[in-house]
Structure 1
């Protein structure tokens, strides 16, 4: 469902409930915190991520506080078990550029291997493209696992980069994109 923003530009609902075969995505609620942290407390989830210490509770708590402040956070639930298995976000909605960022995604290791992430991103991309023309993904340059996952869903590496401060160090991020047109004809269509 889309709705006009104050400037009259059509936007999409960043807090929609999205249902797939394996995954149900729904808006984050404060009572989800413990179950999400139970997933996120696995250090292997974060080992190649620029925020490799996010498995630590104080770091994860700050991560989720940022998620709540900025909105657009969805909880991923395994449809078969009803169990929370991860999270992702819509952020940086830019009506003037007709784009949004999808990211901050993590999944329980039992959901690794492509099918869950691919379905989650397909659902989120379909939702985003009801209101924007372009979705971007900012990925740590050294995070090969996430880069390959983004390429597997049709992400195209752009020439743009971003540098983010992380724990006193500057971390290079590369930017991938999927456009509405490429999504309609790409591997997730």
Structure 2
């Protein structure tokens, strides 16, 4: 479904297929304590693992891994994965590199470009995600882009001894295509 890896360009960001040149940026992203908390990432990563990962993303026809660049600099990634061809659905995940990328509209534009591409070039009907209940900023962006809350996974994350719910959200093709404000 994602054998073609496009470059998508917006006003603030450019999305490029993840490649080896993004390994250092990915390592910085997965090493940032706030990003790890927001994504619930307990695992530790090393630079070599990030290099290997980035080098193989272009070979994956069942997922779309895009680096988010602003001003020519890596500021995060947006990914469509977990494709279910029978049900024309997949998962979306996004992570920004940290404080230098937060609050600048990069994530909003990256998701809008990704949804526009997915619904404009594939038969996908549903794109879903999970976001931790404490991540109000991300939940606001997802709602603004047309994602609807579907439910909660109670106590899905244990972080520093406290339990946190994950909120399940999705956007459907007809809902996205009926919007004119984010079509790209």
Q: Does TM-score exceed 0.5, indicating one fold?
A: yes
**Are the structure 2 counterparts of residues 57 and 147 from structure 1 closer, same or farther at C-alpha, using a change threshold of 3 Å?**
same
Q: How many Å separate the matches in 2 of 1:60 and 1:164?
A: 29
| CA-based RMSD | 3.4
The total of aligned residue pairs comes to 173
Match of 2:7 among 14, 17, 27: 17
2:148 to 156, 160, 184: 156
The verdict on how the C-alpha distance between 1:128 and 1:166 changes in structure 2, with shifts beyond 3 A counting, is farther
Residue aligning to 2:111: 121
SS at match of 2:100: helix
Deviations 1:152-188 (A, max 9, x none): 2221001364886779x98643211111111123452
SS at match of 1:31: helix
- 1:137 equivalenced with 2:129 (yes/no): yes
Return the offset for 1:38: 3.0
Structure 2 partner of 1:97 = 87
Contact 1:90 1:103 (C-alpha < 8 Å) held by counterparts = yes
* CA drift at 1:96: 0.9
Task: Give the aligned partner of residue 183 of structure 1.
Answer: 176
Aligned-partner Cα distance in 1 for 2:83–2:101: 28
User: What residue ranges of structure 2 are gaps of 5+ in the alignment?
Assistant: none
Q: 1:75 and 2:67 equivalent?
A: yes
Judge conservation of contact 1:26–1:74 (CA < 8 Å) in 2. yes
Unmatched 5+ stretches in structure 1 = 1-10
TM-score of the pair, normalised by structure 1: 0.73
1:114 to 1:154, Cα distance in 2 relative to 1, 3 A: farther
SS in 2 for 1:135: strand
Task: Sort the Cα spacing of 1:113 and 1:85 in 2 relative to 1 into closer, same or farther, 3 A.
Answer: same
Which position in structure 2 is the counterpart of 1:7? none
What TM-score do you get using the length of structure 2 for normalisation? 0.74
**2 CA distance for matches of 1:60 and 1:151?**
36
How far has the Cα of 1:61 moved from its partner?
A: 4.4
Q: What per-residue deviation string (whole Å, max 9, x for no partner) do you get for residues 46-78 of structure 1?
A: 344322x56x5449947x849847752111111
Q: Judge conservation of contact 1:48–1:144 (CA < 8 Å) in 2.
A: no
Structure 2 counterpart SS, 1:157: strand
Q: State the secondary structure of the residue aligned to 2:91.
A: strand
